[in-house]
Amino acid sequence: MEKIVVLKFVILFSFSSAYILMDDDLTTDALVLPSEYYLKAEMIDLISNLKEPIELWYSAEYNRSRIDVSGGMVQRYYYWAEFDTSGNEGQVYTISPKTTETEKNVMQCYKKNISEEEQNHDAFPVEGGYVYAGNQQHEGRQVDVWQETDEYDDTREENIMYTYKGARGVDVPVQIVKKTFNTFKGTMTLHVIYNYFSYEPLICYKDLDADEDLCDVANEDLHGTLQVLHPAIRGDVDIAFESFKKRHNRKYRSQAEHEKRKKIFQKNWQLVVDHNSKNLGYKLAMNHLSDLSTEELRLRHGARASPHPAGSIPFPHSEAEVNQIVTHLPKEYDMRMEGFITPIKNQGSCGSCWSFATVAAVEGALARLDGRLRDLSEQTLIDCSWGDAVVSNQGCEGGFPSRSLRYVMKHGLPLEEGYGGYKAQNGYCHTENATEVFKIRGFALATPMSVNAMKVALYKYGPVTVLLQANDAFSFYSSGIFYDPTCDDSGINHAVTIVGYGTRDGDDYWIVKNSYGEQWGGGFMLYSTNDDKCRILSEPYYPVV
């Protein structure tokens, strides 16, 4: 965490022409940071319950800094103002252990270039940053208090720094308290405390030299990078965000857009870290959606609940029959193993989840009928199923699985190869060009809110298209049995396809096929059957072929 602090100091001395730190500037209300120091510190994340011991080295003259985490288990060296023709402003060397099948805890080093746009100016004061707010007693010492606030979008940041006057009037940090709030939700998203001690005004320059013989690899492994970094450390955010951009080939239109995306990335990363620290039975992970805001993620949730849920064909089993049938079903059933499920697809930025969930169910039903796995066209539903009051979907703006199934009854679906590839946007309907079209005889609504009815529908007729409420945690699902009791009354917003069921360590789950690509949990989710807070059993439809 203190790496941020070091990084901040480095940036101040290297790049801020408007704010110059001088050891002989003794003005009380002007912050005067040391130009060289060694500090021991600790970072306490009160949300994720993480506490890390940290050591810091910095030299303005040498223009380098270093941060050691957890007794030197992870070491980071920052070399600044080493310009080259690529426009890089410096490098960071990260040394950490790795264990393989043949080696245990061998130290490795990753080198990364850091460009000017990745510099971060919010951990320590620059012009327009911290302002003097008086003095007070702090843990038995008279200290100066400095405050900094920043507001953007629905976010408010509040930082307080406590310092004492050292030799030659420099302000030596004692503690920084950093808080970030979501003002729209009224929630705190970051609460971190940095405690600093063992301050030394002089260092040995050799302590700032990385073992460059180790550092001959550029780390492109985003998830490996995140394992040794933390979202509450601004310097770590710079490194992680660079890995994310390279991994997903992100290029932003402006510096402002870049900074906006980095803040969103940090917020989502903090969500992932906080969740995973609670050991709730499923894990989250950063993925290709990590630079998207909550509002942008919602645009992908285009499913709508039917005002009057019903199938064109009645569900053929009474509650008593369902309870009898389920006693003879296998404990686990996975249609992927039967060869009935097409590969994972990606809906992109279009709110077309309803189309993908419908098509996946139709593809599976047809495969169960004749053993032939077909890749049908989601784009057809987006382009052509706007229809009348009976159909009335709205392309990338959302749709209804029930009305989509009714469209397939009436008009059928062509192969994607015959209709044309998925565009992630609304397009002209041109089904007249398709030579092979597949219809269904109808569709049924399995008994809502019934786990047993869902299992019967899956085993005898499935796959089953369902609707649910998807939140931010859903967007970053990685592994385990997903169970989220925080779903609220904001309503259903996403459609997926259930392709099986199973049990693990006594916990039952549905196997859910999503449309976010394979980078999202491998494309599939294990979704708890317990206490349907997110309403996955509210509208379970399956095609009849």
Q: What is the mean pLDDT of residues 194-204?
A: 87
Same domain, 136 and 41: yes
Query: Residue 489 belongs to a domain with what CATH number?
Result: 3.90.70.10
> Are the C-beta atoms of 233 and 7 separated by less than 8 Å?
no
Residue 7: pLDDT over 60? no
**Residue at which a domain ends, from 178, 196, 218:** 218
Please check whether residue 72 lies inside any domain of the structure. yes
Distance CA 405, CA 35 (A): 69
Same domain, 432 and 519: yes
pTM over 0.75: no
Give 99's pLDDT tier (boundaries 50, 70, 90).
Answer: low
Is residue 494 part of the annotated active site? The answer reads: yes
Give 114's pLDDT tier (boundaries 50, 70, 90).
Answer: low
Q: What is the mean pLDDT of residues 312-337?
A: 96
Domain count, the chain: 2
Distance CA 454, CA 310 (A): 15
Give the range among 120-134, 285-299, 519-533 with minimum mean pLDDT.
120-134
**Residue at which a domain ends, from 185, 218, 251:** 218
Give the range among 9-13, 65-69, 340-344, 535-539 with minimum mean pLDDT.
9-13
**Residue at which a domain ends, from 196, 218, 240:** 218
Q: Which CA distances in Å does 461 have to 88, 333, 458?
A: 59, 12, 6
Eight-state DSSP code of residue 125: -
Mean pLDDT of the chain: 82
Residue 173: pLDDT over 90? no
CA atoms within 13 A on the CB side of 528: 18
Give the model confidence (pLDDT) of 36-63 as tens digits.
Answer: 888 888 888 887 677 888 888 888 888 8
Share of the chain above pLDDT 90, in %: 39
What is the widest separation between alpha-carbon atoms in the chain?
87
pLDDT on residue 17: 25
Same domain, 207 and 309: no
| SS3 of residue 480 by DSSP | strand
Distance CA 421, CA 407 (A): 20
Contacts 24+ apart (CB under 8 A), 453-457: 453/315, 453/317, 453/319, 453/322, 453/540, 454/498, 454/501, 454/510, 454/537, 454/540, 455/326, 455/329, 455/333, 455/501, 456/317, 456/322, 456/325, 456/326, 456/329, 457/315, 457/540, 457/542
| 524-528 and 477-482 strand pairing | parallel
**Of the residues 350, 353, 384, 534, which is catalytic?**
353
Residue of higher predicted confidence among 29 and 402: 402
Is residue 353 part of the annotated active site? The answer reads: yes
pLDDT on residue 24: 38
Give the model confidence (pLDDT) of 230-287 as tens digits.
Answer: 787 777 888 888 888 888 888 898 888 999 999 999 999 999 998 988 888 899 999 9
Query: Residue 193 belongs to a domain with what CATH number?
Result: 2.50.20.10
For tokens 């169970």, name the residue.
483
Same domain, 196 and 310: no
**Of the residues 287, 452, 471, 514, which is catalytic?**
514
Residue 336 belongs to domain spanning: 297-544
Residue 432: pLDDT over 80? yes
Report phi then psi at 67, rounded to 5: -130, 130
Q: What is the mean pLDDT of residues 128-157?
A: 85
Please check whether residue 485 lies inside any domain of the structure. yes
Is residue 384 part of the annotated active site? The answer reads: no
**Of the residues 230, 258, 301, 494, which is catalytic?**
494
